[in-house]
Structure 1
Amino acid sequence: MNQTGQAEIRVLLIEDDPMVQEVNRLFVEKVDGFRVVGTASHGMEGLKRIDELQPDLVVLDIFMPSLDGIETLRSIRTMELPVDVVVVTAAKDTETIRAMMRGGAFDYIIKPFKLERIRQTLERYRVRHAALRLGESVTQDELDRILQSGEAGAQDAPNEEWAVSADNLPKGLNAATLKQVLAVIRHQGGRLSAEETAEGVGIARVTARRYLDYLEKSGIVRLAVHYGGLGRPVNRYELAREQNDHK
C-alpha cells in the first residue's frame, strides 16, 4: 500500500545498463502509485525475478545478453506468467516493434525518452489495471471503454462532449489524471464518492476531490447526496448526461 492507502502497482525493471536502470527507476517512482520492487540485468535473470517477486508490470529492454527482450517476452507468454510488459528500448526497426506488439506489449517507448512520455504510459496502464480489478465481469460497453483507455492515442477524451483542455485546468491539476478520473467514473456508471474515485485511479482522496470539484464546476458531473441506512449521507458524483438519461 502507498501513503494514500491504495494498492501499489509493482514494477520489475529488466535492463542491462546500470545507469539506464537507475533512470528508469527514478522515472517510474515519480508516478504516484508505482513502485520498483526489483531489477534484472538480462532476460534469464528477469524470468526468475518475475517468478520470485510476482510484479504487476515489467519494463523491458530489447538489447541484452543471456536472452534478449524479444525472447524474454516470448518466454513470459509461453510460461503464462501473469504480468504485463512495457518495452523501453533503443530498437526502432519496425520488425522488432511488430514482434513486441504481437507478443502483447502494453506500450513501446523508444530511448531516449522524457519523463512525461513514460508517465503517460503508466497512467494509462493504471486506469486499465484498476478497471479490470474492480469486478469479476464486465459488459461489452465497459470492456470497450477499458480497452480504449489503454490505446496509444487515448490522450484525447473518448467522448467529445466531455473533452477537457489542459490549457484551462487550474494550477496543480493534470489533464492525463483528469481523464483517468473520467474513465473510472464512466466504468462504474457515473455514481462514485470521492473515496471510490481515488481508489479506482490510485490517487489520494483529497486529490480526487479536487478533480471532481473541477468536473462539477465544468458541468461534466453533478454532486448528489445519497442517503442509506445509518450514518452520514454520502456525496456521490454522477455524470451529467447519465442523470439526464434517467429523468
Structure 2
Amino acid sequence: MTKITVFIVEDDPMVLDVNKNFLSKLTGFELIGESQSGENAFKQISRKKPDLVLLDMYLPDISGIDLFLKLRNERIPCDVIMITAARDAKTVQEVIRMGAVDYLVKPFRFERFEKALQNYYQVSKKISSASTLAQEDIDQLLGNENEQITSLPKGLNDITMKQILDGLVEVDGSITSEQLAQNVGMARVTVRKYLDFLANNGKVQIDLKYGSVGRPTKYYSIK
C-alpha cells in the first residue's frame, strides 16, 4: 500500500507545527500540503486531492464545516478528521453526519492523534486491498463487530499487544512471525503467542505459503 497523503488546515501556526510534528512520527503517511485559511485550503485540496484532510473548525475566512460542505458538494474524494476545540453536541453531531472519520478535541495527546490515524490507515488498507467486501468486513470497518477483544488472557499485556499491532500495521502486505519478531525486537515465541491470539479473535489473517520442501510458512496480516 502506498503512503496516505495528508493535507492540514489549521490557522494557528503553533498548533499547525504540533500537528505536522505528530504526523512526522507516524509511518505510512505523507504531508502534501497545508493552509491557514479555508478558501486557500479548498483550492489546494481540489488540485492536490489528498487522501485525508486534518481540518480545524475555526478559520479566519470560512468555518471548517463550510469547507467540509464545499468538499462534499464538489465530490472531492478525501476523508476528513476534524481537529478542533469545539465540543458542543450540535457541532459534533453535524460533523459526524457529514461523514468525518474521527473528531479530535484540542488539546489532545499524541497517543490520541496516533490512534485516529492508525485506525484510518487500517481501514484504508483493508478497502484498497479488496475488490468486494463481505458483511463481516464492513462491520469491522464501521466498528459494528459483535465480538470485540475486551480483555487479554493471562500472560498477555496491552503494551506488548500494541507493539505487535503497530508492527503489523507498518508492513505493506504480510509478514512471518520471525520477521515481525525481528522488527519489534521481541522473541519469536512471544510474537507467535500474540499472533495466535489475534488470529483466533479474527483480527489477523494467516496465509500459508509452500516452499519446495518442508512445512508451509505462515504469513500474518491485519484483516
Fold match by TM threshold 0.5: yes
C-alpha distance in structure 2 between counterparts of 1:140 and 1:107, whole Å? 22
- Alpha-carbon displacement from aligned partner over 1:122-148 (angstroms, at most 9, x marks no partner): 111111010010111111111111222
SS at match of 1:116: helix
Alignment partner of 1:90 out of 82, 85, 102: 85
**Secondary structure in structure 2 of the residue aligned to 1:19:** helix
**One-letter identity of the residue aligned with 2:209:** H
The Cα offsets for residues 16-50 of structure 1, whole Å up to 9 and x where unpaired, read as 11111111100112112112111011111111111
Cα distance in 1 for residues equivalent to 2:96 and 2:12: 23
* Corresponding position: 1:197 with 2:197: no
Residues 14 and 42, structure 1, Cα contact 8 Å, conserved in 2: yes
When normalised by structure 2's length, the TM-score is: 0.77
Q: Secondary structure at the match of 1:196?
A: coil
**What RMSD, in angstroms, separates the aligned Cα atoms of the two structures?**
3.7
Residues of 2 paired with 1:165 and 1:67: CA distance? 52
Distance 1:208 1:103, change over 3 A: farther
Q: What does residue 216 of structure 1 align with?
A: 192
Other-structure match for 1:75:
70
Q: Tell me which residue corresponds to 1:178.
A: 165
Contact 1:89 1:109 in 2 (8 A): yes
1:13 shift after superposition: 0.3
Give, in whole Å, the separation in 2 of the partners of 1:207 and 1:236: 17
Question: Counterpart in 1 of 2:23?
Answer: 28
Q: Residue 203 of structure 2 aligns with which residue?
A: none
CA distance in 2, matches of 1:45, 1:126: 26
Instruction: Name stretches of at least 5 consecutive residues in structure 1 with no aligned partner.
Output: 1-5, 185-193, 199-203, 240-247
Contiguous gaps of at least 5 residues in structure 2: 201-205
**Equivalence for 1:147:** 142
* Number of equivalenced pairs: 208
Distance of 1:169 and 1:141 partners within structure 2: 25
| Residue 19 (structure 1) aligns with | 14
State the alpha-carbon separation in 2 of the partners of residues 141 and 176 from structure 1: 25
Identity of aligned residues (%): 28
